Amino acid sequence: MTEELLRLDEVRKHFGLSGAPWRAAQTVKAVDGVSLVVRKGETVGLVGESGSGKSTLARVATRLLDPTSGRVQIGGKDVTKLRGRRLRPTRRTVQMVFQDPQASLNPRQSVGTILSTPFRAQGTRPTRAQLIELLEKVGLSAEHLERYPHEFSGGQRQRIGIARALAVSPELLICDEPVSALDVSVQAQVLNLLADLRDELGLSYVVVAHDLAVVRQVASRVAVMYLGTIVEEGPADQVYAAPAHPYTKALLSAVPMPEPGVTRDRIVLTGDVPTPISPPSGCPFRTRCYKAEDICATDRPVLEIINGQTEHRAACYFPEPPPPERK
Amino acid sequence: MSSSVAGVVSPTRQALRRVRRDRSARFGLVLVVVLIVVAAASPLLVKLSGQDAFTYHIDLLDPVRGNAPRGSFGGVSAEHWFGVEPLTGRDLFSIVVLGLRTSLVIAIVVTLVTTVIGTLLGITAAYVGGWFDAVLSRFLDFLFGFPQLVFMIALGIIVPTSVPRPLLLIGVLSFFGWAGLARLIRAQARSLVTREFVEAARSVGSSGWWVITRELLPNLLGPVLVIATLAIPGYIGAEAALSFLGVGVPPPTPSLGRSISDSIVWVYTGTDPWFMVFPGIALFTAVLGFTLLGDGVRDAFDVRLRRTH
């Protein structure tokens, strides 16, 4: 088995909501018991709608946030309890690419300063050649070194964000919605860049996205999140071809078909995502599920192997059967 | 590409460039520079005028008019450029330039101290949050609610004279002065710390000090500069007010505030209004210069007023 770069065990992240002192304290269960393994060479797509906890999970995995409970292992080392200075070696293994390149680059720093920050944080000073090499890796050049973020287009800014993440030569990049803030025409360029870097540098990725098409393009494995839990996980082709969880099936049915004239049965979900302050009992999806029965309200389903596939797992009592072979 | 050439200049430098283009700010800057030069060279100027601020010239006073200076314009002459002080006959030019130095030194030192403390604590509170933020915010509320002037007057009376007054003034004004800046900077920094570039800096392993000084501070330099330049005239006024009330710089150290205070009765009786005019103009110019400059700095950093060029 190949090397595990990231391993999350039953990770929970609850945020306390402070209100008036006479009210009961509330907690938002942003991530509620997620286990996930990322191995070397893999690209894991983490999909889910807004508020499903995918960005929070990404921040726990990079240890920007402390998990409420559970365990985070990076490069085979338990880093759950590490903080501050002692996390620095870990930072060299896992780096993060942020969603909004406008917000993730300091507007008062030149590109050169932005790119040298990771080096300084690790206690070294980069040479100009190192910085230029970084820029060239992401398709920019030496002339961009002295410029400021506002002088770049969205796609170029995201390239700078990627270059910064690459500065410490990480093995795993966690990309939080890396293209959702970009124009559609630029999205493909950035995704291609990520793919090129994977081949060139042997990187692994966790790509957080709400866009299933984006994940389909890059991911080798997919995890679907709903209300802070993973409801389905498996190799990308299997999940896309034979979604087992009703939620995944509903999500996929909403993806527009590229061929004109081809239609599919759309499963329209009613209602909103329940509040993560008081998620439903049992299965978190049961309030919107078209297959829900009594057991779904009482017992929480766990991820189980389905359809006899060893890698494909879903947390559902009534998984969808695989579709008949299409001719 | 001409736009890229202009863009290489950092945003702060662009703002300072806008200050230079603003006519009233330029006028304020000239006033400020002149005043600072005068204050810095005041011992030299005093020596140049051949006088000092402490020698009594009783012969220049007119006992018939209650010891007001003889001659017009408060006794202006080739020896005494601004005339002499009534009642003592001390050289008013020396008193004004040395008093200006006292005022500017106190105001600038207090501004520096309060700016550094207020900025760092404000950013730290926003970045660290939690109990530190809660304690600091309550302390700021306390400082705001405190009757500062009464306290300063009381302190000026109680504290033994062995403590140098300028030092006491700097201490007291600084103690109350940083609160406003800290609160403003904290509010601004709070909106910044949620931006992703702070997370990005943390995710590469930057220390808290790095994030505060290198990531957050440069983004707050605009408001800090604006508040600081606008604070200087306030402290010049505050120092003058305290000296006016008799709890500032003690005699015989020259002080604009005390001279103005002393002059009231001479203006009131009409015997020597010039005693107020010279220190008054000096104080007015100082406050005006720093205020104009501060306004210019504020406009330059205010994106809403930014003109396209």
Average pLDDT, integer, range B291-307: 72
Q: Are the beta carbons of A177 and A49 closer than 8 angstroms?
A: no
The residue that leads in pLDDT, A207 or B72, is A207
Q: Which residues of B touch A151 (CB under 8 A)?
A: 3-4, 7
In a domain, B180, yes or no: yes
3-state helix, strand, coil in chain A (%, to 5): 35, 20, 45
Of B8, B10, B204, nearest to A108 by CB-CB distance is B10
What domain range is B228 assigned to? 94-305
Distance CA B205, CA A84 (A): 7
Q: What pLDDT, on a 0 to 100 scale, did the predictor assign at position A76?
A: 84
pLDDT at B4: 42
- Cα B19 to Cα A318, B22, B293, B298, distances in angstroms: 70, 5, 8, 9
Q: Is there a contact between A108 and B195 if contact means CB atoms under 8 Å apart?
A: no
Quote the mean pLDDT of chain B. 81
Looking at the domain assignment, is residue B80 inside a domain? no
**Residue B50 domain flag:** no
State residue B26's pLDDT score. Answer: 86
The answer to whether the Cβ–Cβ distance between A59 and B199 falls below 8 Å is: yes
* Closest residue on chain A to B220 (Cα): A108
Identify the segments of chain A with pLDDT beneath 70: 1, 18-23, 262-264, 307, 309, 324-327
Query: Tokens 């200076």, residue?
Result: B69
**Bridge pairing between strands A313-314 and A304-305:** antiparallel
| Average pLDDT estimate for B275-280 | 84
With beta carbons under 8 A apart, name residues in chain B contacting A91: 203-205
Burial A15-33 (b: 16+ CB within 10 A, else e): eeeeeeeeeeeeebbbbbb
Query: B144 in a domain, yes or no?
Result: yes
Cβ atoms of A152 and A160 closer than 8 Å = yes
Q: Are A11 and A65 in contact (CB under 8 A)?
A: no
The two tokens of residue B87 are: 């009642």
Q: Provide the token pair at B217.
A: 């501070």
- Spatial distance between the Cα atoms of B285 and B246, rounded to a whole number of angstroms: 23
Q: Which residues of A touch B205 (CB under 8 A)?
A: 87-88, 91, 118, 121-122, 168
For B203, which of A91, A109, A151 is closest by C-beta distance?
Answer: A91
What is the tens place of the pLDDT at every residue in B193-241? 888 899 898 888 888 888 898 889 888 888 888 888 888 888 888 888 8
Averaged pLDDT, B62-89 = 71
d(CA B193, CA B127): 6
**Tokens read off for B234:** 């306030």
Phi then psi for residue A44, to 5 deg, are: -100, 125
Q: Which residue of B has its CA nearest to A167?
A: B204
Q: At CB < 8 Å, which residues of chain A contact B? A: 59, 62, 64, 84-85, 87-88, 91, 95-96, 98-100, 103-110, 117-118, 120-122, 146-148, 150-151, 161, 164-165, 167-168
User: What CA–CA distances, in Å, run from A305 to A60, A132, A311, B301?
Assistant: 26, 47, 7, 60
Which of A56, A104, A115 is the mutation pick for testing B, counting most B CBs within 10 A?
Answer: A104
What lies within 8 Å, CB to CB, of A259 at 6+ separation is none
Can you give the pLDDT at residue A197? 92
pLDDT at position A102 is: 87
Q: Which of A85, A91, A107 is facing B11, going by the closest CB pair?
A: A107
**pLDDT computed for residue A326 by the predictor:** 53
Which residues partner with A225 through β-bridges?
A230
By C-alpha distance, which of A58, A69, A60, A80 is closest to A27?
Answer: A69
Strand partners, A176: A208
pLDDT higher than 60, residue B308: no
Place of tokens 């006016």: B244
Which member of A117, A150, A151 has the closest CB to residue B201?
Answer: A117
Structural domain contains residue B157: yes
- Is the distance from CB of B241 to CB of B85 less than 8 angstroms? no
Name A12's bridge partners: A32, A69
| Residue B17 domain flag | no
Inter-CA distances, B307 with A25, A271, B14, B18, Å? 49, 48, 12, 9
Instruction: Please state, in angstroms and rounded to a whole number, the distance separating the CA atoms of residues B296 and A325.
Output: 73
Whether residue B69 lies inside any domain: the answer is: no
**pLDDT-derived band at B6, boundaries 50, 70, 90:** very low
A4, containing H or E segment: strand A4-17
ipTM: 0.82
The pLDDT value given to residue A216:
86
pLDDT reported for residue A115? 93
Taking the C-alpha atoms of residue B254 and residue B88, their distance in angstroms, rounded to an integer, is: 13
Residues, chain B: 309
Nearest to B255 by CA among B121, B95, B120: B95
> What residue type is B162 in one-letter code?
S
| pLDDT tops 60 at residue B1 | no
Q: Domain holding B268: CATH number?
A: 1.10.3720.10
Check residue A112 and give its pLDDT. 92
Cα dihedral sign for A278, A284, A288, A294?
negative
Q: What is the pLDDT of residue B297?
A: 81
In a domain, B18, yes or no: no
Chain A contact for B11, CB < 8 A? yes
Residue A152 has which token pair? 């770049």
Cβ–Cβ under 8 Å, residues B106 and B235:
yes
**Between chains, do B215 and A98 touch, taking CB under 8 Å as contact?**
no
Residue B277 tokens, joined: 């005019």
Judged against a pLDDT cut of 50, whether residue B5 lies above it is answered with: no
Structure tokens at B243: 């000296």
Domains of chain A: 4-106+171-314 (3.40.50.300)
Q: With b meaning 16 or more CB within 10 Å and e meaning fewer, what string describes B255-270?
A: bbbbbbbbbeebbeee
Q: Which of A64, A86, A117, A175 best tests the B interface by mutation, with the highest count of B CBs <10 A?
A: A117
Of A103, A120, A150, the CB nearest to B197: A103
Sort out which chain B residues have CB atoms less than 8 A from A161's CB and list them: 200
Strands lying side by side in the sheet with A77-78: A26-39, A4-17, A69-74, A77-78
What's the pLDDT score for residue B303?
54
Shortest alpha-carbon distance between residue A116 and chain B (Å): 10
- How many angstroms separate the Cα of A165 from the Cα of each of A39, A104, A298, B125? 19, 11, 44, 28
Nearest CB neighbour to B197, from listed A85, A95, A106: A106
Do B199 and A64 make contact, defined as CB atoms within 8 angstroms? yes
A107 → closest Cβ in B208, B214, B219: B219
Contact B196 A104 (CB under 8 A): yes
CB contact under 8 A, B204 and A148: no
**A103: which chain B residues are within 8 Å (Cβ-Cβ)?**
195-197
Q: How far is CA A227 from the centre of its chain?
A: 14
* A99/B196 touch (CB, cutoff 8 Å), yes or no: yes
Residues whose CB is less than 8 angstroms from the CB of residue A242 and which lie 6 or more positions away in sequence, other chains included: A307, A312, A320, A322, A323
Q: Does B269 touch chain A (CB under 8 A)?
A: no
Assess contact for A219 and A236: CB atoms under 8 A: yes
Q: Spell A167-179 as b/e; 16+ CB within 10 A means b.
A: bbebbbbbbbbbb
Share of chain B above pLDDT 90, in %: 14
Q: How far is B95 from chain A (nearest CA, A)?
A: 45
> pLDDT tens across B87-137, in order?
777 788 888 888 888 888 999 999 999 999 999 999 999 998 888 999 999
User: Nearest CA to CA, how far is A229 from chain B (Å)?
Assistant: 24
Domain count, chain B: 1
